[in-house]
């Protein structure tokens, strides 16, 4: 008469336990789903009835009510087809078996009873692990990586009949030779630092944001190499951990984009004509935007001055917090958005203000208006300001500096020092200020120097903290235990001081 099984609901990347409760009673044919189902969940009724009939079960003469609890959460997508069908069979005593609360079911049903993969399965699996489930039945999907957890047993299934036989003890658990999609980790899609001619100072400066996850603003005339440096920047970043890789794949799956199966950090380069929704995320049922697709990687905004001011100001919250919250009438959803922002812009509308080789045609008012497209609060969030100039190819000597592999090794060592110091995988730009200053206290002389500079240059509190964070990263790259006086001077220089 009554049965309950467990499933997983999604609210953005966050998953929550859904209790699929079914009551069946003798009466006029009726099938009702309650618990704030959307259209896709309501249509599950027809899929469940057809799938059960294809297996020889009948629902005639039965009044069936399905409640998806918690009832106050909006349920979307066909992920609940599979658990609802199992719960219906339990309530009708067609399936006589005890299923614990620690066993979950996710997947969509076809009319013939086969179980199909759906969008959002990977974040649902990660949520099941966090919620403490010990077994999860889900459809087999070759597009997803191997999911092996010590605490969670993932059982891949292909049809409802197969699951019924297994739960009844008639057959062993179905076995699939689960192989990962082709891993392209050995292939580096990014430009090597050696391919960038000149710009020795800029290359050295970009080691700092790679090591500490600081944001960078590059200003210079057209064709000076800003885009080339940004496109080669991901090549010096460390490879993603397994956890970070699963997070990245989950976001791509939720957004409907092609899933990149690689350990290389993502690099997103939206055009300046892109809408705010495509960059931040949104829609009627909010999906991740470019800032979430660049999570754990790099977001490059070329010609940042051409982006709308409204879109740019929407970046302020994710730059500060590492996540973005999208509020709609029916839901408020958060997605992770912890990325390194690399931005490039010209000094003026024509691009040649301050150039020795071209005449600038812009008026002072036009230059000021162009620079003001970046609001003060947003500009203040850039830790590093690089002033770029064109390279004189006639003065470039043979050989072009270190390779990305050599630089990446130093970056990895610097990050490991930060992870050891803070006890978790977090970098200097994102760790709490109290933790930063407790683990790396400034000397009295350094405090006086910073105070004098802040009074002279009228720095905000955020700028002073940026200098300390940059100094800590520079000291990590130089393998110094404490923040050095030289690292503070270099940090001030990188900040544009």
Q: What is the mean pLDDT of residues 219-233?
A: 90
Distance from C-alpha of 217 to C-alpha of 341, rounded to nearest angstrom: 8
- Decide: 269 and 297 in contact? Cβ < 8 Å: no
**Least confident window among 5-14, 279-288, 428-437:** 279-288
Residue 49: other Cβ atoms inside 10 A: 19
Whole-Å CA distances, 465 to 462, 491, 494: 5, 11, 14
**Residue 391 above 90 pLDDT?**
no
* Helix, strand, coil percentages in the chain from 3-state DSSP, rounded to 5: 40, 20, 45
d(CA 241, CA 145): 14
Kindly give, in sequence order, each residue whose CB lies less than 8 Å from that of residue 404, ignoring residues fewer than 6 positions away. 188, 190, 192, 193, 194, 232, 235, 236
Q: How big is the CA angle at 433 (ends 490 and 437), to the nearest 5 degrees?
A: 70
Q: Residue 394: what pLDDT? A: 67
Largest pairwise CA distance in the chain: 90
Task: Confirm if 52 and 16 have CB atoms less than 8 A apart.
Answer: no
Q: How do residues 178-208 score in pLDDT, each as one tens digit?
A: 555 555 555 567 888 888 887 888 889 999 9
- Domains assigned to the chain: 2-167 (3.30.230.10), 193-407 (3.40.50.300), 432-494 (no CATH)
At 173 the pLDDT is 61
pLDDT category at 344 given cuts 50, 70, 90 is very high
Check whether 371 has a pLDDT greater than 90: no
d(CA 126, CA 288): 17
Contact of 335 with 329, CB cutoff 8 Å: no
| Pairing of β 14-26 and β 62-69 | antiparallel
**8 Å CB contact between 494 and 384:** yes
Backbone dihedral angles phi then psi of residue 11, each to the nearest 5 degrees: -130, 90
| Residue 223: Cβ-neighbour burial (10 angstroms; 0-12, 13-18, 19+) | exposed
As a whole number of angstroms, the distance between CA 82 and CA 56 comes to 17
Asked if residue 355 has pLDDT above 80, the reply is: no
Residues above pLDDT 70, as percent of the chain: 94
Q: Which two tokens stand for residue 110?
A: 């076809």
- Angle between helix axes 44-54 and 81-91 (nearest 10 degrees) is 60
Q: 152: closest CA among 183, 113, 122, 180?
A: 122
Burial 452-468 (b: 16+ CB within 10 A, else e): ebbeeeebeeebebbbb
* Residue 183, pLDDT score: 54
Looking at the predicted structure, is the pLDDT value of residue 411 above 70? yes
Residues 13, 120: Cα–Cα separation, whole Å: 9
Q: Distance of alpha carbon 483 from its chain centroid, rounded?
A: 31
Bridge partners for 218 per DSSP: 344, 386
The whole-number pLDDT of residue 91 equals 92
Q: Is 344 helix (H, G, I), strand (E, B) or coil?
A: strand
pLDDT digit string, tens, across residues 41-95: 999 999 999 999 999 998 888 899 999 999 988 898 899 999 999 999 999 999 9
Q: Which of 121, 157, 119 is nearest to 140 (CA)?
A: 157
What is the per-residue pLDDT for 1? Answer: 74
CA distance 315 to 313: 5
Nearest to 6 by CA among 99, 139, 141: 99
Residue 268 burial (CB count, 10 A): 18
Compute the distance between CA of residue 34 and CA of residue 456 in angstroms, rounded to an integer: 65
Element (H, E) at 208: helix 200-212
Closest to 245 in 3D by CA, of 221, 229, 223, 265: 265
d(CA 245, CA 230): 22
pLDDT class of 400 with cuts at 50, 70, 90: low
Span 393-410, average pLDDT? 78
């Amino acid at each position: 008469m009554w049965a309950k099984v467990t499933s997983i609901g999604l609210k953005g990347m966050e998953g929550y336990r859904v209790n699929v409760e079914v009551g069946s009673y003798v009466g006029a044919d009726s099938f009702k789903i309650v618990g704030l189902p959307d259209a896709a969940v309501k249509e599950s009724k027809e899929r469940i009835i057809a799938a059960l009939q294809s297996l020889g079960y009948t629902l005639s003469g039965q009044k069936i009510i399905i409640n998806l609890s918690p009832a106050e959460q909006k349920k979307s997508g066909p992920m609940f087809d599979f658990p609802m069908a199992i719960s219906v069979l339990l309530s009708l005593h067609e399936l006589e078996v005890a299923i614990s609360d620690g066993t979950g079911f996710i997947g969509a049903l076809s009319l013939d009873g086969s179980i199909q993969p759906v969008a959002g399965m990977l974040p649902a699996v990660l949520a099941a692990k966090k919620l403490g489930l010990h077994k999860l039945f889900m459809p087999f999907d070759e597009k997803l990586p191997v999911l092996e957890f010590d605490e969670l047993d993932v059982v891949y299934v292909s049809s409802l009949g197969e699951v019924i036989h297994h739960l009844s003890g008639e057959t062993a658990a179905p076995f699939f030779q689960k192989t990962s999609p082709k891993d392209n980790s050995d292939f580096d899609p990014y430009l090597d630092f050696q391919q960038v001619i000149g710009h020795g100072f800029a290359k050295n400066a970009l080691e700092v944001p790679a090591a500490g996850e600081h944001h960078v603003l590059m200003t210079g005339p057209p064709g000076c190499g800003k885009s080339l440096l940004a496109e080669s920047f991901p090549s010096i970043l460390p490879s993603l951990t397994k956890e970070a890789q699963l997070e990245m794949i989950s976001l791509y799956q939720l957004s409907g984009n092609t899933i990149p199966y690689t350990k290389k950090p993502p690099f997103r380069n939206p055009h300046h004509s892109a809408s705010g929704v495509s960059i931040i995320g949104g829609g009627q049922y909010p999906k991740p935007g470019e800032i979430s697709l660049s999570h754990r990687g790099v977001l490059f905004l070329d010609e940042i001055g051409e982006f709308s001011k409204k879109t740019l100001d929407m970046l302020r919250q994710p730059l500060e917090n590492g996540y973005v919250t999208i509020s709609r009438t029916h839901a408020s959803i958060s997605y992770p958005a912890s990325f390194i922002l690399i931005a490039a812009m010209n000094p003026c509308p024509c691009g040649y203000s301050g150039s020795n080789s071209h005449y600038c045609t812009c008026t002072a008012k036009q230059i000021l208006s162009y620079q003001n497209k970046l609001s003060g609060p947003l500009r203040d969030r850039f830790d590093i300001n690089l002033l770029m100039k064109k390279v004189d190819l006639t003065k470039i000597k043979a050989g072009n500096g270190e390779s990305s592999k050599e630089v990446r090794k130093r970056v990895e060592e610097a990050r490991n020092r930060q992870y050891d110091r803070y006890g978790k995988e977090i970098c200097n730009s994102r760790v709490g200020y109290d933790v930063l200053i407790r683990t790396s206290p400034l000397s009295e002389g350094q405090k006086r120097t910073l105070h004098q500079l802040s009074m002279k240059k009228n720095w905000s509190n955020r700028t002073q903290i940026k200098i300390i964070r940059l100094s800590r990263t520079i000291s990590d790259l130089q393998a110094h235990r404490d923040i050095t006086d030289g690292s503070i001077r270099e940090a001030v220089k990188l900040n544009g001081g």
